[in-house]
Structure 1
């Protein structure tokens, strides 16, 4: 491993001709994430799962010291046994789904620190065999029927006091920026729900023994406190350092 920390940032797709406003909005948030990571000393490789497919995405991220799986569209229900017809269904990217799931599963095998954001949080759960609620009616998780730039809404998130996430974020209570209509239903094998929204719905998971964390909210959102994203990136760095010490000790 070189002295320079390599971070792979994985987005869903590079172009959305059918949804240009959403594409600009999503890209701006990922731009912000990359900028903060570079300021923190990471060398960032940014890749699109749909464009590369499974084999090429695995190859492109093989040497990454840590990985962030970003937000985006719903996961195709075939990957978690859901119904193909559900409320709020949009465009699916099954090639991206399969590729991102494969990246999470390899990270689990080799111990690569990984953070999932929004869709990435759900990809983690599906990769470990978990399921999703395909549509929630609970208010306060996204602003409906507004222009795309107002889709995100702020709500409180409670974190388990004994969780790594609470330690990373410096407390048991944060405000999250979210815009989602699906949530984790059954946690995947080895995953533990460690964060809950104001209405009790799952908002964060951690693996019980691996450096894998998922958050349903968007710490990279323009309105989110920049310290939140910095802390999560710092958490990846700390997990990487711990893994390096383990490898040396072995």
Structure 2
């Protein structure tokens, strides 16, 4: 795996570093976020890990101003007011509106500055909402995308995803991938400048790309311990290739 030049700065942006209301969920999310940080450092990135809810929009934008690339991580549901959704919906989760606002601002600036950005799970949804898209608020219980009624560290469900052959994502991972996912929401109306480049067998969007900016969102978790070996490494390596093209 080619290493990132040591000068490249990667911002790994999560929701929050504190969930006293749900320690099991927090421990699992922390595991996933930590795996991204470790792999990025192994590739030679200088990594900053920032919790959007803990710092707010202004501080997040300032602390990532010099980032060469960004990863927006998974986590809680986005508050419906940011995409015009119903205020109550099935399987509704906790909302961190400060994180939502901060990450939305971060995506919009990344588009403006052509900063390479990878959104993972919630991160994909943040990309879509930031650019004016909407979300399916709950995909229901007949789903291939999440294991239901199991401990949090067993929620990931494996399934196939078809990737558009002409996409940047296919150039990185190939036209067919096996993924690990755990989500109950999905992309509905697409945000401005986005195209769907991967779908699951049930037709749900699994990845989007921006038509001009080096921005990709994936609905699955390559950082999960059960994900195919090498998937996370390839996606992070693609960020520094995108940075070189954007320069």
Q: Is TM > 0.5 for Structure 1 vs Structure 2?
A: yes
1:47 to 45, 50, 54: 50
Tell me how far apart the structure 2 counterparts of residues 226 and 13 of structure 1 sit (CA, whole Å). 27
CA contact (8 A) 1:157 1:203 kept: yes
Structure-to-structure mapping, 1:56-205, within 5 angstroms = 56-137=59-140, 138-169=142-173, 171-205=174-208
* Deviation of the 1:85 alpha carbon: 0.5
Tell me how far apart the structure 1 counterparts of residues 165 and 114 of structure 2 sit (CA, whole Å). 24
Structure-to-structure mapping, 1:213-232, within 5 angstroms = 213-232=216-235
CA contact (8 A) 2:6 2:46 kept: no
2:236 to 213, 221, 233: 233
2:17 to 14, 20, 25: 14
Tell me how far apart the structure 1 counterparts of residues 80 and 201 of structure 2 sit (CA, whole Å). 26
The DSSP-based 3-state class of the residue aligned with 1:176 is strand
The DSSP-based 3-state class of the residue aligned with 1:140 is coil
Tell me how far apart the structure 2 counterparts of residues 121 and 75 of structure 1 sit (CA, whole Å). 11
CA contact (8 A) 1:159 1:194 kept: yes
The DSSP-based 3-state class of the residue aligned with 1:86 is coil
CA contact (8 A) 2:120 2:217 kept: yes
Give runs of ≥4 in structure 1 deviating > 2 Å. Answer: none
* Deviation of the 1:139 alpha carbon: 1.3
Tell me how far apart the structure 2 counterparts of residues 11 and 154 of structure 1 sit (CA, whole Å). 23
* Deviation of the 1:226 alpha carbon: 3.1
The DSSP-based 3-state class of the residue aligned with 1:226 is coil
CA contact (8 A) 1:12 1:96 kept: yes
The DSSP-based 3-state class of the residue aligned with 2:241 is helix
Tell me how far apart the structure 2 counterparts of residues 199 and 37 of structure 1 sit (CA, whole Å). 32
Tell me how far apart the structure 2 counterparts of residues 116 and 222 of structure 1 sit (CA, whole Å). 18
The DSSP-based 3-state class of the residue aligned with 2:227 is coil
1:28 to 19, 22, 31: 31
Structure 2 spans left out of the alignment, 5+ residues: none
* Deviation of the 1:198 alpha carbon: 1.7
Tell me how far apart the structure 2 counterparts of residues 204 and 195 of structure 1 sit (CA, whole Å). 5
Tell me how far apart the structure 2 counterparts of residues 90 and 131 of structure 1 sit (CA, whole Å). 17
CA contact (8 A) 1:220 1:226 kept: no
* Deviation of the 1:3 alpha carbon: 5.8
Give the structure 2 partner of residue 247 of structure 1: none
